[in-house]
Amino acid sequence: MTTSDRPRYRFFLAHHNHSECSSKCVSIGLGRLKFWVCARCLGVYSIMALVISLDMILKFNLSDTMRAVGFFLLGTAPWAHWALEHFRRRSVGPVFLKTISGAFLGFGLGLLLAGHFRNPWNHGFTFSILMLVIGSSAVVFLESFFRD
């Protein structure tokens, strides 16, 4: 295989180092080009867009509180998986698990954001986003604080 025959890898929604892509990303081929897509982001963004679209079309009858509860129930396990990977500084579990956990998070975020689009800055949305930011910031801070 000559240099011009080799597939070229591009990065699209792959915010990981190239060395981590095989354990955290999905390789999608388009002809001779291959793209790395973060497995968790693939699940989050695709399902979130689907849920928001369906919510806008079908007008799910969920209160803002129920949307926030759904976000917490669907998003806690994926967030914990992400936090575990941050603390261990290595990939935990197979790539498809990251996509599935991302899909659960995307479903919860989709419900939450669709509620926000209908009723901007409602209490459930504001509280949920605040908790997500505080929890994620704590993980990143503690991980850097306890770094070897």
- Indicate whether 5 belongs to any domain: no
pLDDT digits (tens, 9 = 90+) for 67-98: 999 999 999 999 888 888 877 777 788 889 99
- Indicate whether 70 belongs to any domain: yes
pLDDT digits (tens, 9 = 90+) for 40-60: 889 999 999 999 999 999 999
Residue 17 in this model has a pLDDT that exceeds 60: yes
Number of domains present in the structure of the chain: 1
- Indicate whether 141 belongs to any domain: yes
Percent of the chain with pLDDT over 70: 87
Find the domain containing 45 and state its range: 39-145
- Angle subtended at Cα 43 by Cα 25 and Cα 128, rounded to the nearest 5 degrees: 120
- Indicate whether 124 belongs to any domain: yes
Residue 99 in this model has a pLDDT that exceeds 80: yes
Contact 115, 124 (CB under 8 A): yes
- Indicate whether 8 belongs to any domain: no
**What mean pLDDT comes out for the span 122-126?**
87
- Indicate whether 89 belongs to any domain: yes
Confidence at 115, pLDDT banded by 50, 70, 90: very high
Contact 42, 26 (CB under 8 A): yes
- Indicate whether 9 belongs to any domain: no
How far is Cα 37 from Cα 32, in angstroms, rounded to an integer? 16
- Indicate whether 32 belongs to any domain: no
Residue 22 in this model has a pLDDT that exceeds 70: yes
